[in-house]
Amino acid sequence: MEALRLEGVSKRYGRKPVLEGVNLAVRPGEVYALAGPNGSGKTTLIRLVTGLAFPTQGRALLLGEDVHKSPTARRHLGAVVEAPAAFYPYLTGRENLRLHAYLAGVKEEARIPEVLARLRLLAVADQKVGSYSLGQRQRLGLAAAILPRPKVLVLDEPTSGLDPEGVELVHGLLRELAWEGVAVLLSTHHLQEVSAYAHKVGILGGGRLLEEVALSGKEAYRLEAHPLEGALALLKALPQVASARLQGGAIVFEGDKDAALRALLREGFRVEALGPHRFDLLSYYQERVKHA
């Protein structure tokens, strides 16, 4: 079953439409990144999923339960929506997490040092949160969200305000959580970084989901060869090549690169370059938003 699902969700503030007919789904173990320019509705969508805002139309389901109708729908949800998350400033990080654990019914004592360690907060765990930097509070927010081992994690710009190590830490953590089977929905402006591990990127523009880009995770290669058209036809005919297309004066293909190279040389093509190809999500996004 899908862990999170939006069905025809629209949201208006007064007469102003902010989201229109958004459908999306996130499966367990999947990372779904929401991208879009400022004001495109990312935060609104995330607030809707967490039950903090109500849809004008449509519904949001968590593990099959309607977030806005079922009082138990959110029991498997972890979320960080407001940045930085609200904590008691006169309590330490550890004490704040103890409170969260109590409220969430987490009885396992060892879970608190475990999440503090996972977010590299042990060194400041016994300092008052009032003295935390923005990045430390941001990480404490994430620690609190994962404390009860949620099956669905929803995060609004989880890396904003973090230093480069913090950004890497959070992306690494989300990747691990997905391996553990958690469904992750996050909004982000950091397309290059999430494209390394997200399974899908939803591009929002003017309140609509313009496109979903599935990142296959399959190895792709970029080939420069002469004559190009002939090389493309040869690759398309090879059983070891899953897909091949022209892109910017080169061929991008998925499949067995050694078999492709052998076939090209055998047929007398001049191979000028062959190397790994990374899908340039940022350029793709910029094009998509420009034409929207």
Ligand X SMILES: Nc1ncnc2c1ncn2[C@@H]1O[C@H](COP(=O)(O)OP(=O)(O)OP(=O)(O)O)[C@@H](O)[C@H]1O
Peptide bond into 55 cis (omega under 30): no
Q: Which is nearer to ligand X, 22 or 97 (CB)?
A: 22
Q: Least distance from C-beta 39 to ligand X, angstroms?
A: 4
**Among the listed residues 5, 24, 30, 43, the single contact to ligand X using CB under 6 A:** 43
Q: Which is nearer to ligand X, 19 or 147 (CB)?
A: 19
Q: Which residues pair with 26 in a beta bridge?
A: 4
Q: Which is nearer to ligand X, 20 or 30 (CB)?
A: 20
Q: Least distance from C-beta 17 to ligand X, angstroms?
A: 9
**Among the listed residues 24, 33, 42, 194, the single contact to ligand X using CB under 6 A:** 42
Q: Which is nearer to ligand X, 48 or 125 (CB)?
A: 48
* Interacting positions 80-99 with ligand X (CB under 6 A): none
Q: Which is nearer to ligand X, 96 or 188 (CB)?
A: 188
Residue 75 vs residues 104, 140, 213: alpha-carbon distances, Å? 9, 20, 30
Q: Least distance from C-beta 180 to ligand X, angstroms?
A: 28
Q: Which is nearer to ligand X, 36 or 78 (CB)?
A: 36
Q: Least distance from C-beta 212 to ligand X, angstroms?
A: 16
Q: Are strands 270-277 and 220-226 parallel, antiparallel or unpaired?
A: antiparallel
- Residue pair 97/112 in contact (Cβ under 8 Å)? The answer is yes
Q: Least distance from C-beta 158 to ligand X, angstroms?
A: 13
Q: Which is nearer to ligand X, 41 or 148 (CB)?
A: 41
Phi–psi pair at 201, nearest 5 degrees: -125, 125
User: For 92, which DSSP code?
Assistant: B
* Interacting positions 44-73 with ligand X (CB under 6 A): 44
Query: Which residues of the chain form beta strands (DSSP E)?
Result: 4-13, 16-26, 31-35, 57-62, 65-66, 77-80, 152-156, 183-187, 200-205, 208-214, 220-226, 241-247, 250-255, 270-277
Q: Least distance from C-beta 67 to ligand X, angstroms?
A: 17
Q: Which residues pair with 80 in a beta bridge?
A: 155
* Interacting positions 199-258 with ligand X (CB under 6 A): none
The mark string for 12-41 relative to ligand X (x by CB under 6 A, - otherwise) is -x----x-----------------x-xxxx
Q: How many residues bind ligand X (CB under 6 A)?
A: 10
List of long-range contacts for 84-88, beta carbons under 8 Å, 24+ apart: 84/134, 84/137, 84/138, 84/141, 84/161, 85/137, 85/138, 85/140, 85/141, 85/144, 85/145, 87/129, 87/137, 87/140, 87/141, 87/144, 88/129
Q: Which is nearer to ligand X, 8 or 227 (CB)?
A: 8
Between helix 228-237 and helix 257-266 the angle, nearest 10°, is 120
Phi–psi pair at 196, nearest 5 degrees: -75, -20
Q: Least distance from C-beta 243 to ligand X, angstroms?
A: 33
Q: Least distance from C-beta 230 to ligand X, angstroms?
A: 46
Which residues contribute to the site for ligand X (CB under 6 A)? 13, 18, 36, 38-44
